[in-house]
Amino acid sequence: MTQPKSSAPQGTLIVVGTGIKLVSHVTQAAQQAIAQAEVVLFVAGDALVATWITRLNPAAESLHVLYAPGKRRRQTYREMTARILAEVRQGRQVCAAFYGHPGVFVRPAHAAIRQARREGFPAGMLPGISAEDCLFADLEVTPLPAGWQRYEATDFLQQQRQFDPTCHLILWQIGVIGQRHFPADDETGRAGLRQLTHTLLESYPAGHEVIVYEAAIYPTLAPVIQRQPLARLPQANVTPLSTLYIPPVAAPRPDPTMLRRLGLANP
C-alpha cells in the first residue's frame, strides 16, 4: 500500500456534484471546493458548465477526453480514477466534480475516494442535486405512502430484480440498456427497451400509464415528461439521459396481523 510521504505536502481529495440545471444547482460548499482546489478534474454534462468550472478555477481539466468510440465505459472509469489519484499522490488538493449527485451512478467518484483512503489520503464527498431530486419536484410525487424502488435499467433486467408493483418504480438509463461501450447505439438501445417493456408487462397492464422523464439542464427549458401507455414504451423518444417512472398499479394491502402487533388496527 502506497503511503503519502510525511516530508511532502499531503494530497487530499474532495468529490463534489454540480447538479443538473446549469450552475443554479451547485451548492455553496461545492462551488467553494472547486474554487479553492489546486487541481480540478471534472466531467460536465454540458459545455456551458465546463466553461463555468474553468472560469471558477483555471486549474481545471475535463476528464471527458478519456471517452472514445468503441471503448468500454468501465475502462474509461478506471482511467478517470487513476487520473484523479495521480494528482492526489503528488500532494495536491484535488477536487473532482461530476454533474448531478457525485454518489449516484458515478463509479470513478466512489473508486477514487476508496483508493485515496486506502493509501492514507483524506478524502470525502459533497452532495449535489440529482435527477431523482428533480423528478420528485417535476412530477410532484412522493415516496410515501406507497414506497419507492429504483434500479438501473440494465441491472434490473439482467439480475431479474424482484419488485413490488404497488410501489413507485424508477428505472434509470433506459436509453442505453445493455450497452457497455461509448457512444450509445440506438439499435441496441431499442432492443433493450423492447425487452424492458416485455418484462414490465408481466406485472402491469398494457394500458398502465408510465412517464419517460428527463430533467431540464437549462433554467429556460421545461423538463421532458412523456406520458404514455406501457405497451407503447418501445416507440418512446428516449436518450441516454431518459428515466422511466412507473406509478403504483394498485394500493398495497396491509397485513392485518402486523397491524394488530403494531397497535394500528382499527377497533
- The set of catalytic residues is 73, 77, 99
Task: Name the DSSP class of 13.
Answer: E
Cell of 25: 444547482
Cβ-contact 212, 228 below 8 angstroms: yes
CA atoms of 149 and 169, how far apart (whole Å): 5
Buried b (16+ CB within 10 A) or exposed e, 206-227: eebebbbbbbebeeeeebbebe
Q: Phi then psi for 41, rounded to 5 degrees?
A: -115, 125
Cβ-contact 261, 170 below 8 angstroms: no
Hunting for cell 394491502 — which residue is that? 253
Cβ-contact 61, 49 below 8 angstroms: no
